[in-house]
């Protein structure tokens, strides 16, 4: 299959229509006095809207994103047909040793853009970096046939790396990317030398003699955040995505400010006091708003992969060497002992700061962990 150079270039007509929609935005006038966590503040949204209309420049963002070398190719997925996959592919700038091929996978509401901050650090450290838009995200297409699950996402990503001439490589994933790399480790152990994750989800292991280990304060905090704060108090968004992705997707496709609000709620809530700018948040939004099929297919991924649907992968032991970066504001991080029961865990590092968007919030920290882990386990062949 041929690989084609790609540049982002949204038509002027789409940008003009966007401005018309922003001009017609109607925000809620209700401003409660109570301060419990209940969503995005109305004043914040009004300020964001004003900035979007008067100061934000998509063309400047587009030019900056296009500095990353981008491509598209066609990947055949059997009964689902061929998908167009968009990806960043940049080669190491260091010539001291043979480059380590790295596949970086994002999640929702992120995009391939999340690699931007970490890319120069990884290239200088001797990595060839491939950062795709997941199927249905950004400029990658998504099948119309039902049943495109984690196994198929894993198949697409492995075929992409093989097509680019990397029969062996390492991978890093967060959010949906974390689930995909887990499945990849099970399905393609001959191709994958190591897996690094900043989000890790699994069920409680079956402990020998039923004796659960004692946890450190940080490990207990991870469990509390995962199973109380996230699963019991902050999972409604995912249930909507699972049950009504087309309904929700249509609403978000028609309203750019509605999409911004849905994303801002997660960007702020899931990060560790990261000082988000309106430029960053609007760009996160735009890469879904202008996606091939809009924001809908990013939600369909939840419908195609409900928890029961990918449990088989989450429960199967991963023999490939695995590394984990545990940050306090991640959504799901299991203790070291859980990681050791579910994977061949050879690297587990705790951090005192950081949230769900680790490569964007704290790129130096995450890249430093990745370099240490991957260089430790990579074997030249």
pLDDT tens by residue, 239-256: 999 999 999 999 999 999
Mean pLDDT computed over 348-354: 97
Using the predicted structure, report yes or no on whether residue 271 has a pLDDT greater than 70: yes
Q: Using N-to-C axis directions, what is the helix angle for 256-270 and 245-254, rounded to 10°?
A: 110
Mean per-residue pLDDT, 361-376: 97
Percentage of residues in the chain having pLDDT higher than 90: 86
How many other CB atoms sit within 10 Å of the CB of residue 273?
Answer: 10
Residue 258, CA distances (Å) to 136, 167, 231, 253, 373 in order: 20, 42, 24, 9, 40
Q: What is the mean pLDDT of residues 351-378?
A: 97
pLDDT of residue 69: 98
Q: How far is CA 210 from CA 204, 221, 251, 377, in A?
A: 11, 22, 48, 32
Using DSSP bridges, classify how beta strands 70-76 and 82-90 pair: parallel, antiparallel or unpaired: antiparallel
Instruction: Name the band, by pLDDT with cuts 50, 70 and 90, for residue 180.
Output: very high
Question: Which of helix, strand or coil describes residue 193?
Answer: strand
Q: Is the pLDDT of residue 311 over 70?
A: no
**What pLDDT, on a 0 to 100 scale, did the predictor assign at position 309?**
56
CA distance 79 to 348: 39
What's the pLDDT at 35? 56
Residue 19 clears pLDDT 80, i.e. is over it: yes
Decide if pLDDT at 26 tops 80.
yes
Lowest average pLDDT, out of 19-28, 257-266, 300-309, goes to 300-309
Q: Sorting pLDDT into bands at 50, 70 and 90, what band is 175? A: very high
Q: What is the mean pLDDT of the chain?
A: 94
Q: What is the 3-state secondary structure (H, E, C) of 197-211?
A: ECCCCCCCCCCHHHC
Question: What pLDDT is attached to residue 211?
Answer: 85
- Assign domain 59-201+212-229+307-377 to its CATH architecture: 3-Layer(aba) Sandwich (3.40)
- Among 134, 131, 139, 70, which Cα is nearest to 104's? 131
Q: Structural domain boundaries of the chain?
A: 59-201+212-229+307-377
In this model, does residue 36 exceed pLDDT 70? Answer: no
pLDDT value at 189 more than 90:
yes
Whether 308 shows a pLDDT value over 90: the answer reads no
- CB-based contact 323:196 (threshold 8 Å): yes
In angstroms, the CA 20 to CA 232 distance is 39
> How confident is residue 1, by pLDDT bands cut at 50, 70 and 90?
low
The predicted structure's pLDDT at residue 65: 98
Determine the pLDDT at residue 40.
Answer: 86
- Per-residue pLDDT at 84: 98
């Amino acid at each position: 299959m041929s690989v084609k150079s790609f540049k982002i270039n949204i038509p002027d007509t789409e940008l003009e229509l966007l401005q018309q929609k922003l001009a017609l935005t109607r925000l809620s006038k209700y401003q409660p006095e109570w301060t419990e966590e209940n969503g995005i503040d109305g004043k914040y949204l009004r300020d964001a809207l004003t900035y979007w209309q008067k100061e934000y420049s998509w063309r400047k963002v587009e030019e900056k994103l296009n500095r990353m070398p981008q491509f598209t190719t066609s990947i055949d997925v059997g009964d689902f047909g061929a998908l167009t996959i968009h990806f960043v592919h940049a080669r190491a700038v260091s010539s001291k040793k043979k480059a380590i091929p790295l596949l970086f996978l994002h999640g929702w509401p992120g995009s391939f853009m999340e690699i931007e901050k970490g890319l120069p650090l990884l290239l200088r450290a001797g990595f060839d970096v491939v950062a795709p838009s997941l199927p249905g995200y950004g400029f990658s297409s998504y099948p119309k046939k039902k049943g495109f699950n984690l196994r198929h996402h894993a198949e697409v990503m492995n075929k992409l790396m093989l097509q680019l001439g990397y029969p062996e490589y390492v991978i890093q994933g967060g959010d949906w990317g974390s689930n995909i790399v887990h499945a990849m480790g099970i399905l393609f152990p001959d191709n994958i030398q190591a897996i690094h994750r900043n989000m890790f989800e699994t069920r409680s292991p079956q402990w020998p003699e039923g004796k659960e280990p004692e946890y450190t304060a940080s490990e207990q905090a991870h469990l509390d955040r995962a199973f109380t704060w996230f699963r019991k108090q902050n999972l409604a968004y995912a249930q909507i995505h699972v049950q009504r992705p087309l309904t929700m997707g249509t609403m978000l496709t028609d309203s750019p400010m509605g999409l911004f609000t849905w994303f801002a709620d997660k960007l702020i809530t899931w990060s560790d006091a990261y000082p988000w700018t309106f430029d960053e948040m609007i760009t996160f939004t735009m890469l879904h708003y202008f996606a091939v099929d809009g924001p809908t297919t990013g939600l369909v991924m939840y419908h195609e992969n409900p928890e029961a649907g990918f449990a088989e992968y989450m429960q199967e032991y991963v023999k490939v060497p695995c590394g984990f970066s545990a940050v306090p504001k991640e959504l799901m991080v299991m203790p070291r002992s859980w990681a050791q029961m579910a994977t061949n865990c050879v690297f587990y590092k705790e951090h005192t700061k950081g949230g769900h968007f680790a490569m964007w919030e704290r790129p130096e920290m995450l890249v430093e962990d990745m370099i240490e882990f991957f260089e430790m386990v990579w074997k030249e062949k």
